Amino acid sequence: MSSKSLTQAVLLLPSQWFLYLNVFNFILFASLKKLKSKEDRKLRRKQHRQDASLTMQDKNDQMPLENRETVIVVQKALSPWLSYGDCVLLQISESKDLFRDKSHSISVLMKNLKPWMDMDRIKRSELGMLYAGRQPETLGDVVELLLERKNRVWARIFIHSLSGCLDTSPKLHDWAHKLDSSGLNAAGLFIDRYADHLEQLDLAPLLHFAPLQDMLIEKFGTMPEFFSHLGLTVMEYLKQAPPQEMRLFIWTLEEHRDQYASCHAALDYYFEIMDGLCVVIKKNENENTINSPFKTKNRNHKKKQKEPKGVSIMTST
């Protein structure tokens, strides 16, 4: 390098160092800013986690008094449903005053319930053994038994038997008949919806359960070989069977649900949704509605009140 070039390089050196210093400062500032932003995000996430970790009790403590009272009211309103978990059982519970001190004959009802109660004893369930020695004497006693057992099949057998009694009051008979008819309609829908799945299962054990077996023997005179003689599977037969037989099959499947785990969701949907009709029995004039789980406001206060009807219907959702 010539002396002239060396002199120029020496003269440019401070400028280059100034440029390098500016670049270094810029990079350092950007890094510090990025680091600070990262720390801020960490702090915000930590705060969010702390907020989200508040317990329900803490939230209730912070809730306005009127809101807490609303929650309590809703919980109380839901408690009867949560107690039984079934629309039909709930309606029986809220109408149980109608079954007291009545002279209804319960012999047919107990005959219809007996095979299902016997199955409880065969399973040696604690409740089944407890009921083994009890002999209900009145309709009210039967209702108390149903509400203690909380069996949704038993509840529907009770309704079915009640709908066929001739010595019940017109209102009670109307109520039971509408609930019973709803279950028959739902049975057909259940078979249509779940036939393909049920076709894949071994349903033969169900055919030996006394109520279903007796019905088939009474109809065909033999059991259970008639299916093979007819060239039909159980589900192929049920698809063309009367609603009463479809429903009896569903009830039997429910009582044997521990053997058919894949059917639990379908059975719950049937009992809770498809067969979840709510029929409200009303008392005479000057008396309040006694068994509606839903209270509706009268939106026409100024209009003349109509004569109360015996039965009104609401479908559950």
The pLDDT of residue 311 is 44
Omega cis (within 30) before 308: no
Phi and psi of 241, rounded to 5°? Answer: -80, 160
CA proximity to 97, closest of 283, 241, 224: 283
Which ranges of the chain does DSSP label H, i.e. alpha helix?
3-52, 56-62, 65-84, 87-94, 107-122, 126-131, 139-149, 152-163, 170-199, 210-220, 226-230, 234-239, 243-255, 264-269
Report how far apart, in Å, the C-alpha atoms of 148 and of each of 83, 100, 152 are.
10, 16, 11
CA–CA dist 168, 176 (Å, integer): 10
| pLDDT digits 0-9 by tens, 224-272 | 565 666 678 889 999 999 999 999 999 999 999 999 999 999 999 999 9
CA–CA dist 129, 122 (Å, integer): 9
Query: Any idea what DSSP says for residue 291?
Result: S
Query: Any idea what DSSP says for residue 277?
Result: E
CA–CA dist 139, 168 (Å, integer): 11
CA–CA dist 191, 115 (Å, integer): 24
Per DSSP, the residues of 88-126 read: HHHHHHHTGGGGTT-----HHHHHHHHHHHHHHHHTT-H
pTM surpassing 0.85? no
Can you name the residues that pair with 230 across neighbouring β-strands? none
In sequence order, the 6+-apart residues with CB closer than 8 A to the CB of 41 are none
pLDDT in tens, the chain (317 residues): 555 554 554 454 555 655 656 655 566 556 666 666 777 777 777 666 666 555 445 555 555 554 444 443 444 444 555 667 788 999 998 888 888 755 677 888 889 999 998 888 877 655 555 555 667 888 888 899 899 889 999 999 999 999 988 777 888 889 999 999 999 999 999 999 999 999 999 998 998 899 999 998 888 776 656 566 667 888 999 999 999 999 999 999 999 999 999 999 999 999 999 998 877 676 554 443 333 333 334 444 444 444 444 444 444 44
* Residue 260 contacts residue 209 (beta carbons within 8 Å): no
CA–CA dist 178, 170 (Å, integer): 12
| pLDDT digits 0-9 by tens, 59-85 | 555 555 544 444 434 444 445 556 677
